[in-house]
Structure 1
């Protein structure tokens, strides 16, 4: 079989692209090294009865007429793949010593809540939120495909966006002189980026913060259903999704990529796969090294020279005979910090491996939907997430596996001490299962170099015009991945849909 599109990797952007192409009548073949499709969106089962999603927690851009909804409608899936909305009165609950705020969907309500906490800074708070709104509106106008008429209609928003192109979140906090505690409350979902305010692109923060304000969601039938539905579209239109196939080499004739060599990880046999066009969902840097970096143009080589995002530490946990709703949990996430300054909190954990006073997220997927699947009825799933340094954990694991396991346990014990002190007394008594993951776990199961969670790092220098896109400078070969688009559930769906739109001419996302 020589398909129209040979897709290397089955991350969400690739599955979106593949499903759209298959639905349009093209033949599609997907190769995936893992035993599950979906990349960071894959679901795994432990102890034969508990299911966990690898990395997705909550998502945005899923409302009527938004990116995810448009793609699902195109595929005829909008009635099957539905989403539950987080509480619009507080989708993120921010908690720190002396302060607490629930982040609401309405910007005006956010201004009021912050101003009640910091009355002497009410004017700066309003100016900051207005800047966020203007920049967010401008980012939408300037996002490809650009409509020049929209730019002319909203010059102020476009100007505000261009002005903030090189700013960090910290730069904009400082511009409006927000007090430290207000900065921390606003940026406490920093774990969605794994970067502190003084390194995080203001653009990246605005896109995600406003995205969640417009609607934070969780899939009604869990994330596994989203992935399986896309796979089903590909297969029902004659396409294939082949698992346990590790691509070991790319085939080139002159400047044209004609296919790949892959090894079956079960039989260890190698085979050649060809396609009229090859779509690369694996990390672009890794692919470029396999192909030979000198084969790419200078422009693409420059864009390929990105730093990877940080990685994370995860705990997948099950509690029994405990209803977390009785302890202040529900259709929202909870973010905790013991530090007033998130820049310092990041340095303490990431640079110094000191987790004695951690900042972390708590998410409760079982409370987001009434659809069963993730665990038995008398149990609930709780997940904890914080930042972790790949180099440190890899060296520790390679040098001393026992010390590696002890470090993971030490972080868990510190988090559980905080949970029992501030949120759920006797939490440990109800724990019936827990498993921890480190950056090396990400690398092993999600095939991400250095355990990175978001592809290329979300700093201002990497979020501007020099960011990598689908273009590779090679013939019939395109990138389709978080580093050649943007990371996260909705942005990767957007990346796959945008590439489909560009190659097919079929407009889903907008004109251009």
Structure 2
């Protein structure tokens, strides 16, 4: 019997959609090109004893009554899949030469801390933070499904949000004339977007910044358990996930997608899969290229004309005979920059490939939860993340593998130099395992075109009214991924749940 829903890809939004549909009694089948489920949320094991999550570091919207919690309740998982909250007194630790700021959950406390650092600019800072909160409230009311009465009742917040439709974060910094150092401290979690203030959509920054203020979280049993729990719901309710199945063609008849062809990497053969409805978790632009762009409406083709987000460079390390808590690490992330201006820092690393004075994120997943370990007793994990240019790394990898590996090592050394100078003296001597990942690693293991980390680029152009959604103009065919929703853990939960809600009529989120 053919499934009700054939899902191409097992990224987080697809697993949320699939688990909700399976739980509701629908027959679900998932095809995944990789050997692991979860997309960028998948966990891999190295040296048979160290586990690392590919990309996720911390998440938001997981508190009681929020998006993730409501979905988990619908799946009866809320008591099993739980989360540890980051320190609300400072969930992000911002560090730059001469300045230090811990971002608290309370906006008034954030205003006070910034005013202490920049007393002459206290009034501007106060007005900026209040504008951020007002914009956040307006964006919540503008998120689907729109409720006209809510828009009218919150007209002030909605109109505040709408005026920044085409604004970058830098535009708003400039409007409020914030001092450069305050701008850098507030935008220092730029690795969460892989864009600097002068390219990043103000909307994207507000959504994430205020989302984390309401609660930054880490899964009690790590991200692998979240992914495995969603997979289990699908399988326990009669669905299946077929790994090592790369979809190579979509079967289209009379403007209707009826199935796909997929290469079974284990059996080394092409198989055909037919279903009532096809859900595409594959990158929409890539899927459209396979199907043929001409088969889509002009409006959808315009929305598919997005540019990809930049890619990243990752360092996964295991340390032994040291407790990172003794060096200022704990239930928070640390963001470091050697530059006063993040736009300049980004340009040097992304455009000029100069990492001699890097700006990067540090995360310590083994300090977030005590329930389960991702490494042996006595060890801890520390990870570093920064931006990297896909075209540059691909060219190196294709033309000079030795130069490619040397560049990865060079960046690693610059990051470790900065870490040793500013945070952990002699860090290198405690490292018992390390592995680096480049943009081409992303492309190879996460199947993301051009190694992109977030699907479509989070610029004002891609975050506006014309952003792609689940609608494809083809019958029985829907997009469901970061580029047709929004990137990030909570946002992909929302994307999968909203599509489930629209196709099933079962209201979970309402206006959220």
Normalising by structure 1, what TM-score? 0.99
Task: Please list the CA deviations of residues 113-148 of structure 1 after superposition, one character each: whole Å capped at 9, or x if unmatched.
Answer: 000000000000001001100000000011001111
1:293 maps to: 293
SS of 2:59's equivalent in the other structure is coil
SS of 1:88's equivalent in the other structure is coil
Mapped contact 2:250–2:291 kept (Cα < 8 A): yes
Task: Please list the CA deviations of residues 414-433 of structure 1 after superposition, one character each: whole Å capped at 9, or x if unmatched.
Answer: 11111111101111110000
2:131 corresponds to 1:96: no
Q: CA deviation at 1:152?
A: 1.4
1:50 maps to: 50
Instruction: Find the aligned partners of 1:373 and 1:400 in 2 and give their Cα distance.
Output: 38
SS of 1:376's equivalent in the other structure is coil
Q: CA deviation at 1:373?
A: 3.0
2:222 corresponds to 1:235: no
2:14 maps to: 14
Instruction: Find the aligned partners of 1:299 and 1:453 in 2 and give their Cα distance.
Output: 25
1:276 maps to: 276
Map residues 89-168 of structure 1 onto 2, 5 A cutoff. Answer: 89-168=89-168
Instruction: Find the aligned partners of 2:497 and 2:382 in 1 and give their Cα distance.
Output: 32
Mapped contact 2:4–2:28 kept (Cα < 8 A): yes
Instruction: Find the aligned partners of 1:385 and 1:420 in 2 and give their Cα distance.
Output: 16
SS of 1:263's equivalent in the other structure is strand
SS of 1:355's equivalent in the other structure is coil
Return 5+ residue gaps in structure 1 as ranges.
Answer: none
1:187 maps to: 187
Instruction: Find the aligned partners of 1:265 and 1:442 in 2 and give their Cα distance.
Output: 19
Structure 1 residue runs of 4 or more that deviate by more than 6 Å after TM superposition? none
Map residues 215-226 of structure 1 onto 2, 5 A cutoff. Answer: 215-226=215-226
1:255 maps to: 255
2:381 maps to: 381
Instruction: Find the aligned partners of 1:499 and 1:217 in 2 and give their Cα distance.
Output: 24
Q: CA deviation at 1:267?
A: 1.8
Instruction: Find the aligned partners of 1:424 and 1:406 in 2 and give their Cα distance.
Output: 24
Instruction: Find the aligned partners of 2:502 and 2:511 in 1 and give their Cα distance.
Output: 11
Q: CA deviation at 1:372?
A: 2.3
1:487 maps to: 487
2:87 maps to: 87
Normalising by structure 2, what TM-score? 0.99
2:462 maps to: 462
Q: CA deviation at 1:154?
A: 1.1
SS of 1:188's equivalent in the other structure is coil
SS of 1:316's equivalent in the other structure is strand
Instruction: Find the aligned partners of 1:138 and 1:451 in 2 and give their Cα distance.
Output: 33
SS of 2:60's equivalent in the other structure is coil
2:390 maps to: 390
1:438 maps to: 438
1:415 maps to: 415
SS of 1:486's equivalent in the other structure is coil
Q: CA deviation at 1:225?
A: 0.3
Instruction: Find the aligned partners of 1:455 and 1:373 in 2 and give their Cα distance.
Output: 30
Instruction: Find the aligned partners of 1:299 and 1:229 in 2 and give their Cα distance.
Output: 37
Task: Please list the CA deviations of residues 478-503 of structure 1 after superposition, one character each: whole Å capped at 9, or x if unmatched.
Answer: 00000000000000110000000000
SS of 2:45's equivalent in the other structure is strand
2:452 corresponds to 1:452: yes
Instruction: Find the aligned partners of 2:321 and 2:501 in 1 and give their Cα distance.
Output: 49
Mapped contact 2:196–2:346 kept (Cα < 8 A): yes
Q: CA deviation at 1:511?
A: 5.8
SS of 1:247's equivalent in the other structure is strand
Instruction: Find the aligned partners of 2:324 and 2:80 in 1 and give their Cα distance.
Output: 29
Mapped contact 2:139–2:161 kept (Cα < 8 A): yes
SS of 2:441's equivalent in the other structure is helix
Instruction: Find the aligned partners of 1:265 and 1:448 in 2 and give their Cα distance.
Output: 18
2:264 maps to: 264
SS of 1:217's equivalent in the other structure is strand
Instruction: Find the aligned partners of 2:413 and 2:465 in 1 and give their Cα distance.
Output: 43
SS of 1:273's equivalent in the other structure is strand
Instruction: Find the aligned partners of 2:267 and 2:275 in 1 and give their Cα distance.
Output: 23
Return 5+ residue gaps in structure 2 as ranges.
Answer: none
Q: CA deviation at 1:269?
A: 1.1
Instruction: Find the aligned partners of 1:326 and 1:373 in 2 and give their Cα distance.
Output: 19
Instruction: Find the aligned partners of 1:318 and 1:405 in 2 and give their Cα distance.
Output: 20
Instruction: Find the aligned partners of 2:477 and 2:431 in 1 and give their Cα distance.
Output: 48
Moved more, 420-429 or 28-37: 420-429
Moved more, 263-272 or 46-55: 263-272
Instruction: Find the aligned partners of 1:154 and 1:180 in 2 and give their Cα distance.
Output: 33
Mapped contact 2:144–2:511 kept (Cα < 8 A): no
SS of 2:189's equivalent in the other structure is helix
Report the count of equivalent residues: 512
Task: Please list the CA deviations of residues 443-465 of structure 1 after superposition, one character each: whole Å capped at 9, or x if unmatched.
Answer: 00000000000000000011111
Instruction: Find the aligned partners of 2:213 and 2:377 in 1 and give their Cα distance.
Output: 31
Task: Please list the CA deviations of residues 49-88 of structure 1 after superposition, one character each: whole Å capped at 9, or x if unmatched.
Answer: 0000000000000000000000000000000000000000
SS of 1:211's equivalent in the other structure is helix
Mapped contact 2:141–2:511 kept (Cα < 8 A): no
2:333 maps to: 333
Mapped contact 2:366–2:373 kept (Cα < 8 A): no
CA RMSD of aligned residues (A): 0.7
2:78 maps to: 78
